[in-house]
Amino acid sequence: MKEAPPKQKYLRSGELARLAGVSTDTLRHYEGKGLLVRPRRSENRYREYLASDLDRVRLVRSALGIGFSLDELARILSVRDRGGAPCHQVRALAGTKLEEIETQLSELSALRDELRRLLKNWDSVLAKKSPSERAGLLELLAAKPAKATKPTKATKALGRRKRLSRLAQTPIKRKSESKETQW
């Protein structure tokens, strides 16, 4: 006598969202981006995800935490879902992200040094002024240097600060998980 195949475990969207630490809106967004397969609907029209989708959402969240974008993940996971092996692509993207971080760290370090120099200069100016007297600190920022100099890393960094990538604007959050997800 043959045993019946095990019944597939499904999770409603609220349950999956709670377990994954995301909102139900995030799940719908992931569906729209192609990161999750559209779930089946129960008789009363509730979304029902496969239990394995929890691992998928955790994988996506972990990859986002190290700087991958949703679009990059959608491309990678699409290849993987079709039986491909996008491991070299994943490695190349991570390498590019590391290069971006190294550049940003260098720019931030230069900016830090410039701010230290600026604060030392301002302290010198303030030491010569009474607390009720204007020192024109902000105006000193706009003042042209006595001699023309080549732009420093710090001044370049100031101009680039507005263009920092999502990676620099997104805090890296890592949760320890009992099971590792492999690419």
Token pair for 80:
């993987």
* In a domain? residue 142: no
What is the number of domains present in the chain?
A: 2
pLDDT digits (tens, 9 = 90+) for 44-102: 888 999 999 999 999 999 999 999 999 999 999 999 999 999 999 999 999 999 999 99
Looking at residue 3, its pLDDT comes to 56
pLDDT bracket for residue 173 (50, 70, 90): very low
CATH of the domain at 24: 1.10.1660.10
pLDDT bracket for residue 152 (50, 70, 90): low
Are residues 109 and 169 located together in one domain of the fold?
Answer: yes
> In a 3-state reduction of DSSP, which class is residue 111?
helix
Are residues 93 and 78 located together in one domain of the fold?
Answer: no
Amino acid 183 reads W
Half-sphere exposure of 36 (CA within 13 A, CB side): 30
Are residues 122 and 97 located together in one domain of the fold?
Answer: yes
Are residues 91 and 168 located together in one domain of the fold?
Answer: yes
Are residues 19 and 95 located together in one domain of the fold?
Answer: no
Token pair for 158:
């100031």
CB contact at 8 A, 59 and 181: yes
> At which of 62, 84, 106 does a domain end?
84
Closest listed residue to residue 175, CA positions, set 54, 21, 14: 21
> At which of 84, 104, 119 does a domain end?
84
* In a domain? residue 160: yes
Looking at residue 165, its pLDDT comes to 41
Residues 6+ away with beta carbon under 8 Å from 27: 13, 16, 17, 20, 36, 47, 49, 57
* In a domain? residue 134: no
d(CA 82, CA 74): 12
Are residues 79 and 106 located together in one domain of the fold?
Answer: no
Segment holding 50, helix H or strand E: strand 47-50
Range of the domain at 77: 10-84
pLDDT bracket for residue 180 (50, 70, 90): very low
Looking at residue 13, its pLDDT comes to 92
Are residues 35 and 17 located together in one domain of the fold?
Answer: yes
* In a domain? residue 144: no
- Residue with token string 């960094």: 157
